[in-house]
Chains A and B, each alone.
Chain A
Amino acid sequence: MNDILTIILVLIGAPIIGCLASGIDRKITARLQGRVGPPLLQPYYDVKKLLSKDNMVVNPSQNFYVVVYLAFIILSLFMLVFKQDFLMIIFVYTVASVALVVGGMSTGSPYARIGSSREIMAILSYEPVLILYALAIYLLTGTFKLSALLDASSPLLMYTPLIFIAMIVVLNIKLKKSPFDYSTSHHGHQELIKGMTTEYGGPGFATIEIAHFYEYVFLTGLIFLFWASTPVIGVLIGIIAYLLVIVIDNITARVYWQWMLKLSWTILLVISLVNIAYLYVSGVKLV
């Protein structure tokens, strides 16, 4: 009974939080650029409007991938909430990412294909870091199941500061924020062409937006895990990380994907490995 309640709560609560987070993002971004910005609920109005529009598609099956994207984002969020195996959550989340990539490519549009190609490179950049994060959790608790983190005596962050830094960058990549927003953008000056999602409009695009709301919650949830033993601090760290991402988004310019690949396969990977090596050598356990 309790489980069903949680499911309903997550199903309804997560997009509301995600929508607000997205609204806050736009508000802060506007202020940083000296604008007033749209109302806080603008993302909600956007989705509402999109849902009322015509379903324009290039390829009749392109919306299928969007539904898979949404379904697997929600599934990975559920798995996170129910404290499942973290490695598995990453793989399920990969299904969602691949679905969006394939959806973009399936349209056959040149812009969408470029965006998708770049997004594949983003997957290559962040996936090793995510799995090393899972490995760190395993080394500290002896299991990949997240339930162990709640019983931990001290927070994860104490022993994984370097992975935390890497994860902030991953958050930037995953939320497609500058400097890593090239997979959803092509034109520097105007964003009519949004990379992978260029050929989506109406209800299809609305679904992507809704999935993004869930994804916001899921990704900050990954940051929350760093201090899951005291949930209040965990949430706080999640919020701080999110705000940090918005600030980084506003103070950096878009880079080439090659640059990001180099950054992640050298610096991010190396600091994560140093952290992992420390965990191996010291043999600390959280439980």
Chain B
Amino acid sequence: MIENTVMLLIIVPLLFSLLFVALPKSLYRYLAWAFFIIGVALSVSLVLGGTGVVPVEGPNFAMYENIVLLLEVLVILYILAVSAKYKNWPTLGLGIISAALFAYTYANVPGAEGASFNIDPLAQLMILIVNIVGTAIILFATGYMDQYEEHRHLNRQKIFYFTMSFFLAAMNGLVMSDTLGWLYLFWELTTLCSFVLISYNMDEEGINNGFRALSLNLVGGVAMSIGIILLATNYNISSLTGIATYAGTDAVALAALALPVALLCIGGFAKSAQMPFHSWLLGAMVAPTPVSALLHSSTMVNAGVFLVVKLVPAYANTSLGTAIAVYGSFTFVICSALALSQRNAKRVLAYSTIANLGLIIASAGIGTPLAVAASMMLILFHAISKGLLFLCTGEIEHTIGSRDIEDMSGLIKKAPLLTSIAALGMVSMLLPPFGVLLTKWVSMEAASNNPVVIIFIVLGSALTTVYYSKWLGTILSTSMDKNAVPHKKLETYFPLSVLGLSIIGTSIFIFSIYDYFIRPQVEILLKVAPAVTGQAGQFTSEIGAFAYAAIFAVLALAILIYLATKNMFTPRTAGYYMCGENNLEKDRLMFRNGLCSYEKCSVSNIYLQNIFGESKLTTFGYAISIILIVIALAGGVGL
């Protein structure tokens, strides 16, 4: 039963990607709906099917292994061809290195007799994220892409939907496969998909950014394949569970694994766009918004943190783990600071993604049961909230024609529903009782034994509050001009509502989610579960308690009180105060100045460009993060 679901999860998205190519554009809407429904059904059925290992052996394995080999060759050939075509020499060089490593692996590393898919609770959780958030994003795209292409005079939707669906197939394979060789193939396939999607516009900017993503991820891929070769030749390990088993034998084995594991983690850092690699994710903004949403929430960047979390048994409570924790929390604080200085909504979100992934990596690096639990919960909540926020930004851009935060003031009047959903997404990123804050609380409590990590997290979380509350205030502010009309399409608002309701649902049922997915997974990874109990709407750990039910209750109460008293004190609306110099005869947005003419009054938020600006912090961030990575590697060789 579970075998069939596993195969279907890879084959069905592939089938849809072919259907998108074969069928005309007018049917995409129905295809996307079907994909969404089937994706939800398949992922839920995988979860209901329980956990287990699906081995692939015998003649089947031989066939699959040949397909894998063929695909790997094709991937490398494609990279070589495309980088030669656009004369991108760094990428070509990395492609050649990858090819050499592949040839070396093929010739020297002994072939396996079988491979396996490992369906553990974390894989189930990731499958849910990929197939619900991911297909919701594709559905959203059907309501978005026509207008996007119209603006840019493009007609490449076949490639767009093909790659998006293919991406989901690769991602499904990635989170389920236990065998490192297969994992690596799916890994490279996601890199390739992101390249195609980022350079979607086919203009110079798009292609440059696509190549940046490709080359930086190839660096990670090279590190990863060296790690895989080391594991296979020195320790005869060819799977993720193999790493965990070997690391569990004794302290000597654990220390021996440090270097290859650090190399695998670097692959994960590159994929998750951590600090020295972060520029590719910022460059990815040039792609259409559904692409950004997919990259930031359900695919690509999640693959990186997924791998880092899976490797926890190999570095928990070692010096490598501490190095990873410091590295992750450094990325968290520096990218939060960078996000503070941005006016472009997509850049804010991109930096916020990198920061939150840094927090996930930091939590994984801390390596206590509570922290590892926090890292997995953050993957889930971040995926939903960030997917929603990106889609909202895209729709806002279509409504008001700008993605500058300052232009979004007055949005609540222009598009109330969209603004409310976007506000929910932002609130869920920074305030209790929503999941992201809960996980931040857990990681703070868990990190409190590591002085450097906790201080980075404290500063980063203060910065996070600032950039989200300033944006939140801006979209909720009313100005008196209203000249934009929201497009009310079902394909737009249905995915947004699904994601919005998921935020509320997952936050309410956080303890059930914890019980079903997170605790068993922590037990698998660390052999101990965090001492967390959940009596009466509380999330109680050994060092504190989080009464989320009480916060929900107060929030509900506040809404009720507001609604009840609204009519007791009937509001009278007035224009706002401008020292008596309002111009009532015109649009009431202007001051009357000393010359009795009218001047527009505009107030903007504080961005602290000269403290936290990119020009101030980026070089510093590069330097420190590279040093930290070198330390992680050195911790690997036993310094």
Which residue numbers of A lie inside 8 Å of B, CB to CB? 54-61, 63-64, 67-68, 70-72, 74-75, 79, 84-88, 91-92, 94-95, 98, 101-102, 104-114, 116-118, 120-121, 123-124, 127-128, 131-132, 135, 138-139, 142-145, 193, 198-199, 202-204, 257, 273, 276-277, 280
Contact = CB atoms under 8 A, between A and B. Distances in A.
Interface stretch (B88-96, B218-226, B384-392, B463-471): B463-471
Contacts, number: 192
Given A68-B558, A85-B545, A193-B577, A54 B572 contact: yes
B574 A58 contact: yes
A106 B565 CA distance: 19
B431 A95 contact: yes
Interface stretch (B57-65, B151-159, B601-609): B601-609
B601 A139 contact: no
Contacts of A273: 455
A119 to B, nearest CB: 9
B473 A116 contact: yes
Contacts of B570: 55
Contact of B569 (A55, A71, A117, A257): A55
Interface string B548-561: 00110011011101
B479 interface: yes
21 contacts: A57-B571, A57-B574, A60-B573, A64-B559, A79-B547, A85-B544, A91-B432, A92-B432, A92-B551, A98-B465, A105-B477, A106-B473, A108-B480, A108-B576, A113-B473, A120-B606, A121-B606, A128-B458, A138-B448, A144-B445, A199-B576
Interface of B: 409-410, 412, 430-432, 437, 441, 444-445, 448, 451, 454-455, 458-459, 461-463, 465-466, 469-470, 472-474, 476-480, 542-547, 550-551, 554-555, 557-559, 561-562, 565-566, 569-579, 601-603, 605-606
A71 B554 contact: yes
A135 B448 contact: yes
A87 B562 contact: no
Given A121-B606, A124-B466, A131-B462, A88 B544 contact: yes
A167 to B, nearest CB: 15
Q: In terms of DSSP, what is the predominant structure of the interface of chain A?
A: helix
B578 A110 contact: yes
B431 A105 contact: no
A35 to B, nearest CB: 27
B571 A56 contact: yes
A208 to B, nearest CB: 14
B466 A123 contact: yes
A185 to B, nearest CB: 14
Contacts of B566: 63
B544 A87 contact: yes
B448 A107 contact: no
Contact of A131 (B410, B412, B461, B472): B461
A204 B573 CA distance: 13
B441 A108 contact: no
B478 to A, nearest CB: 4
A94 B544 contact: no
Given A74-B554, A98-B469, A108-B480, 18 more contacts: A55-B571, A55-B572, A58-B574, A58-B575, A59-B478, A60-B573, A67-B565, A71-B557, A71-B558, A104-B473, A107-B478, A109-B578, A110-B576, A110-B601, A111-B577, A142-B543, A144-B544, A198-B577
A268 to B, nearest CB: 12
Contacts of B431: 91, 94-95, 98
Contacts of B603: 110, 113-114, 117
A67 B576 contact: no
Contacts of B602: 110
Contacts of A94: 430-431, 465
A5 B546 CA distance: 23
Contacts of A204: 569
Contacts of B463: 124
Please list the 4 inter-chain residue pairs (A to B) with the smallest Cβ-Cβ separation, ordered nearest first: A105-B473, A109-B576, A144-B544, A55-B569
Nearest to A95: B431
Contacts of A198: 576-577
Contacts of B476: 102, 105-106
Contact of A72 (B480, B545, B554, B573): B554
Contact of B547 (A84, A87, A112, A118): A84
Centre residue among A67, A118, A199 by max chain B CB count within 10 A: A67
Contacts of A112: 576
Contact of B469 (A60, A102, A111, A144): A102
A101 B470 CA distance: 8
Contacts of B430: 94, 98
A57 B572 CA distance: 6
B408 to A, nearest CB: 11
Contacts of A280: 451
Contacts of B574: 56-58
Given A63-B571, A108-B576, A143 B473 contact: no
